[in-house]
Structure 1
Amino acid sequence: MSGQRAVLVHPSADALARASAARLLLALADAQALRRPVHLAIAGGSVGTQVLAEVATSPLLENLDLTGLHVWWVDERFVPCGDPDRNEGQASEALLGGLDIPAANVHRMPSSDGADGAGDPHAAAADYATELAAFAPSGTEAVRAPEFDVVLLGMGPDGHIASLFPGHGTVTIDDRTVIGVPNSPKPPARRISLTLPVLTQARQVWVVAAGAAKADAVARALHGADPDEIPAAAAQGRDLTLWLLDAEAAGR
C-alpha cells in the first residue's frame, strides 16, 4: 500500500535543484534520528547531478552523519570504469568525491571492464543483487534489498525511470532485484537497473524532472498511464511519493 503523494512545482530548474537538495538533506537527517544506517539510492542525468552538486555546497550537510549513510545507484551505464557516461563518475564529481563517506558505504554498480560480471550486464546485475541482499532487513524474503529511506529518480522525456524503458516489459519483472538491460533505446545500449519491487519498497520515492520536454510524460504519469507505456507512472514510495518539478515540466 502506497502512502501520500505530492506534486511540488518550482519556478526554474535551478530553484528545483536547490530546493530538492535541501529537502533531501533534511529527509536523511530526519531518518538518521530514527534509525541507523540510512540508505539512499541516486540516479544520473542532468537534473539529478545538479541536485547532488547543490547538496555538496548546502550548509544543511553538517546535520548529516556521513558515516551512517549508504549510497546506492538505481541504474548504471554498463561501460568501462572511468567512462564519462558512468552515473557514478558524474555523482563523484558533483558530490561524493568531496565527502568523507566511508568507501564501504558507497555501493557502485559494476563496470563492463570490472572483475564482477566479466563484461556481461546480466552477470553484473546478479552481483549487485547479492550486494543488495547483504543489507536486506532480517526476516525479509520477498525483496532482498535495503529498505531505502529515499530513492531519487530522474525521468526521461519518454517517461522512463532508472533504466526501465517504455514497451520493454521490464516494469513487470518481480522475480529479481536487479536486471541487465542489453538493448536500451537510449545510448549506451547496455545498462544495469534496479527493478520496481526494490524501488517501491523505499520509504520515500522522489521523481525530479525539469524542462518542457518532460511535460507530456509528467502529465501522463500523474494521470495514471499504463506503466509499460510510461514507467514513471509506477513510481511510488511506501510512505511518500514526491514529484519535484520545475514550471516547464509541470506545464501540462
Structure 2
Amino acid sequence: MHQPPSAPILNSFPSANELVESLAAFIVKLQKDSIDKKGRFTVAISGGSLPKQLKGLIGNASVKWDKWQVFYADERAVPLDHPDSNHKLCFDELFSKVPIPSTNIHTLDPSFIEDLEELSDHYEKELIREFAQKDSARFPVFDLILLGIGPDGHTASLFPGHELLAEEDRWVAYIEDSPKPPPKRITLTYPVINHAAQVAFVATGEGKVDMLSNILDKPEEGLPASRVKPVYPGQLYWFVDDAASAKVQYPRTPFRL
C-alpha cells in the first residue's frame, strides 16, 4: 500500500542571511549522507532568485564538489551564455566561484535549441546516463531538488493551467508557450520532482507573501507549486524568510539538522 506524502516542513528565518546559512548547512548534511551511502550527490537546481540563496556554499570546506552531479530543474532554450539561461545564472552566482568539475554540471545541448523535442530527449538521455545504470527505478531519484516559486505559483517551468501539469511518463518535457518569457523551455516533470529523496523550495521577500500563503494554506487550489508532493519516504521542505511567510497560517518548524 502506498504511503501518503509527508507533510511539508516549513522553516522560516528572521533574515535572509540566516536562511542562506541554514540552507547551506542543510545541503551539506544531505550531501554527506548521500556520499557516505553511494559515493555521489545528485542535485537539480532552478534559476530565478534561487542561485543567489546558495552563496553559503561558496568557500565552504565541507562541500565535496567533485562528488556533485548537477542538473537543471528547468532550462530555457537559449545558448548557454545567454542572459536568460539558467545555467549562466547558476554559473555566474555559484559555479564560477567553486571548484566543481565542469563535467559534473549537466547542461542542455545548445545544438538542439531549435528543436525542442530533440532538446528534451537529449536532456532525458543525460538523466538516464546518470541514474538508470546506477539505480533501478522507474524515475530518477535525486538526492535533492531545489526549487523557487513564481508570482503565479509556477515552479520549474510548470505553469498554472498548462497541459504539462498532467504529464505522468516523460522525465523531461518541453514547453513552447511559456506565459513568462522566453516561451521555449524544457523542464523536469512532476514524476521526477516527486520521486526526489528531498525537495526544498526557497522563497524570500514580501513580494512572495500572498503566493506563499496560497500555496501552503490552500493546497486544494492546485497551484503548480502545491502539486510538489514527494512520494514516501521523500520529504518537502520550505526555506523562507519571515517577510515571505508573514501571512502563512501553516505551522512553522524550528530549524534543526
- Asked if Structure 1 and Structure 2 have the same fold, meaning a TM-score greater than 0.5 normalized by the shorter chain, the answer is yes
Determine if the alignment matches structure 1 residue 159 to structure 2 residue 153.
Answer: yes
Q: Deviations over 1:124-152 (max 9, x none)?
A: 01110111111224563522x3x111110
After TM superposition, list the pairs within 5 Å mapping 1:1-252 onto structure 2: 1=3, 2-46=5-49, 48-57=50-59, 61-110=60-109, 114-115=110-111, 117-138=112-133, 140=136, 142-143=138-139, 145=140, 147-226=141-220, 229-237=222-230, 238-252=233-247
Distance 1:27 1:231 in 2: 25
Normalising to structure 1: TM-score of the pair?
0.88
The 8 Å contact of residues 42 and 151 in structure 1, kept in 2 or not, is answered as yes
Q: Percent identity?
A: 32
Alpha carbons of structure 1 residues 148 and 141: separation in structure 2 relative to 1, 3 Å: closer
Q: Is the partner of 1:208 in helix, strand or coil? A: strand
The answer for the alignment partner of 2:252 in structure 1 is none
Distance 1:216 1:191 in 2: 27
Number of residues paired by the alignment?
241
Q: Which stretch shifts more, 81-90 or 9-18?
A: 9-18
Distance 1:207 1:92 in 2: 20
Q: Deviations over 1:167-187 (max 9, x none)?
A: 112121012011111111111
Distance 1:188 1:15 in 2: 33
Gaps spanning 5+ residues in structure 1: where?
A: none
Q: Deviations over 1:192-244 (max 9, x none)?
A: 100010111110000111122322222222235347x4111112334321011
Q: Is the partner of 2:130 in helix, strand or coil? A: coil
The 8 Å contact of residues 122 and 181 in structure 1, kept in 2 or not, is answered as no
Q: Is the partner of 1:9 in helix, strand or coil? A: strand
Which amino acid in the other structure matches residue 202 of structure 2?
Answer: V
Please state how far the C-alpha of 1:29 moved relative to its aligned partner: 1.9
Q: Is the partner of 2:187 in helix, strand or coil? A: strand
Runs ≥4 residues deviating over 3 A: 137-141
Which amino acid in the other structure matches residue 9 of structure 1?
Answer: S
Which amino acid in the other structure matches residue 123 of structure 2?
Answer: Y
Q: Is the partner of 2:80 in helix, strand or coil? A: coil
Alpha carbons of structure 1 residues 19 and 106: separation in structure 2 relative to 1, 3 Å: same
Distance 1:128 1:222 in 2: 31
Which amino acid in the other structure matches residue 223 of structure 2?
Answer: I
Please state how far the C-alpha of 1:153 moved relative to its aligned partner: 0.4
The 8 Å contact of residues 221 and 230 in structure 1, kept in 2 or not, is answered as yes
Please state how far the C-alpha of 1:4 moved relative to its aligned partner: 5.0
Which amino acid in the other structure matches residue 67 of structure 2?
Answer: G
Please state how far the C-alpha of 1:15 moved relative to its aligned partner: 2.9
Gaps spanning 5+ residues in structure 2: where?
A: 248-257
